Amino acid sequence: MKDASMCNFIRAMRNCSISNGGPSYEGKDPRLQTVPWCAACHSRPTQGLLCCARCRTAWYCNGTCQKAHYKSHKEICLPVARNLDILDDKAGLLHDEEEAYFETQIGAFGRHHPTLLYMGALKDVVKSLVRAAQASEIQCVWERAFDYTLELQRLDVLAPLDSQALTAFILLNLHRDDDAFDFIRSWMQTDLTGHETASELARRHDGIKKGEWFFPREKNSRYLNMFEVCPNVDYRSVPVAFLVVLLVIKCRLVAAYDATCRSIDVAMATTGGQRIQEVKELVTDMLIDKKLMNIESQRRQVVWLVNAIHGNNAIMLPAILNPEPLLEKYSREGAQGQAAEAFFTLFYGVPCLIRIPGVQAMLEQRFGKKPFYTL
């Protein structure tokens, strides 16, 4: 039997879609809590909260709330604590080795058997923390997951694609869309050139300290067209998870633009607003930087990315609207190939997409409300 909790999370995700963002959507997931709250009753008492000492991913008003919530929390708590203990054990074994791996092999942990064991334990920590962050919707839990996944990237310059996709998904959940875009651009410009060896790439990581962001960074990069920035990259070679990340970024831009326009229309519809109708264009220019935001280009990129994702993996987008066939297959026998790729992306990345106003309606218009797909 496969992990039923993952399947249940994907089923529940369908209830998180937003059909219309109204005039208030700002390109961010409103469910993200910047300040912890009680996992049981969602309150923030003035006397403060108690943090779960075992996993440090949940907070409670008091012992009563903690006890009431434990039955569901233990599915999150125990794996986090266990995986952190295993990671500590693996780190201890590496420190006992004659080779000073943490000093001499930064960037090359994927090429040695002892360090591969450590990297596997580190990835397990990231996945369990992501599940904790999905359950809590608390920013500092996502940030903790990000710290560990950034360490994955620092230690292994050629980290597996699923580890790299997790990094991009976590950045989206933290509303760091520019960094998510830059991260994927770095992968495209490095991994696909074929001009550098693994050793040459690893040397880039010399001197990088734990916790440092070490990818090229550009302000407002999310407005760019990735395939104009990287014209030599064939989209058919790009992992579907990365294409979904780009789709999230573009859909957020479009939804935020549309919400801003609706806000302006609401303001102009009031009695006072009627008097300043003639300055509507000026107000729009003040609220939307048209030098950055070419809305027609962004809408075209959304359509292009939908087509590219569907062309690369015909299961992915229909499974967002109708996940049951994929979940049933996964529960019975697991998933391979495109089905496995779709399941991974559905669980870790699609919640960001489905919570953007209008996305579900857009997908339903393209694929129908309950589309069929072949597994």
- Look up residue 7 and give its two tokens: 């399947």
pTM of this structure? 0.90
Long-range interactions of 176-179: CB distance < 8 A, separation 24+: 177/27, 177/222, 177/248, 177/249, 177/252, 178/217, 178/218, 178/219, 178/220, 178/221, 178/222, 179/213, 179/215, 179/217
Q: Which residues contact 201 (CB under 8 A, 6 or more apart)?
A: 107, 157, 158, 190
What pLDDT sits at residue 160?
87
User: What whole-number distance in Å separates Cα of residue 157 and Cα of residue 162?
Assistant: 13
User: What whole-number distance in Å separates Cα of residue 17 and Cα of residue 10?
Assistant: 12
For tokens 């970024």, name the residue: 249
Cβ–Cβ contacts within 10 Å for residue 110, how many? 19
Tens of pLDDT, residue by residue, the chain (375 residues): 346 677 777 777 666 666 555 557 888 988 899 999 999 999 999 889 999 999 999 999 999 999 999 999 999 999 999 999 999 999 999 988 877 888 888 888 888 888 999 999 999 999 999 999 999 999 999 999 999 999 999 999 888 889 999 999 999 999 999 999 999 999 888 754 455 566 666 677 777 888 889 888 999 999 999 999 999 899 999 999 999 999 999 999 999 988 887 777 766 666 555 555 555 555 555 556 677 889 999 999 999 999 999 999 999 999 999 999 999 888 777 668 899 999 999 999 989 999 999 999 999 999 999 999 998
Q: Is 372 helix (H, G, I), strand (E, B) or coil?
A: coil
State residue 193 phi and psi, 5-degree precision: -80, -40
DSSP 159: -
DSSP 105: -
What pLDDT sits at residue 125?
97
What pLDDT sits at residue 250?
97
What pLDDT sits at residue 193?
46
**Helix and strand counts by DSSP (H, E) for the chain:** 18, 2
Of 321, 317, 267, 261, nearest to 293 (Cα)? 261
156 has which bridge partners? Answer: 108
Of 2, 300, 31, 69, nearest to 173 (Cα)? 31
User: What whole-number distance in Å separates Cα of residue 154 and Cα of residue 150?
Assistant: 6
